Amino acid sequence: MTAAVLTGAGSALPATFDQDAVWEGFFAQHYAGVRAARRIFTGSGVRTRHAVANPADEDLTGWGTGARMARYIEEALPLGKQAVAGALDAAGLAPGDVGLFAVATCTGYATPGLDIRLASDLGMPAGLERLLVGHMGCYAAIPGLSAAGDYVAARGRPAVLLCCELTSLHVQPARTALDQVVAHALFSDAAAAVVLEPGAGRGRRLAGVVARTDPSTADHMTWDVTDLGFRMGLSPRVPDVLARHVGGVVDELLTGAGLRVEDVAGWAVHPGGPRILDVVRDQLGLAESDMAASRQVLAEHGNCSSATVLLVLDELADVDGPVVAMAFGPGLTLYAALLLPA
Handedness of CA 16, 274, 204, 155 (dihedral sign): negative
Active site residue 304: no
CATH for the 4-198 domain, from 3.40.1480.10, 3.30.160.100, 3.30.360.10, 3.40.47.10: 3.40.47.10
Pick the catalytic residue from 106, 138, 164, 304.
138
List Cβ neighbours of 52 (8 Å cut-off, separation of 6 or more): 14, 15, 71, 75, 79, 166, 168, 169, 189
> Within its chain, how far is the Cα of 2 from the centroid?
27
Whole-angstrom distance, CA of residue 273 vs CA of residue 185: 10
Residue 258, classified by CB atoms within 10 Å of its CB into exposed (0-12), middle (13-18) or buried (19+), is: exposed
Fold of 204-341: Peroxisomal Thiolase; Chain A, domain 1 (3.40.47)
Along the 342 residues of the chain, how does pLDDT read in single tens digits? 799 999 999 999 999 999 999 999 999 999 998 999 999 999 999 999 999 999 999 999 999 999 999 999 999 999 999 999 999 999 999 999 999 999 999 999 999 999 999 999 999 999 999 999 999 999 999 999 999 999 999 999 999 999 999 999 999 999 999 999 999 999 999 999 999 999 999 999 999 999 999 999 999 999 999 999 999 999 999 999 999 999 999 999 999 999 999 999 999 999 999 999 999 999 999 999 999 999 999 999 999 999 999 999 999 999 999 999 999 999 999 999 999 999
Whole-angstrom distance, CA of residue 221 vs CA of residue 320: 35
> Within its chain, how far is the Cα of 159 from the centroid?
18
- Which part of the chain has CATH 3.40.47.10? 4-198, 204-341
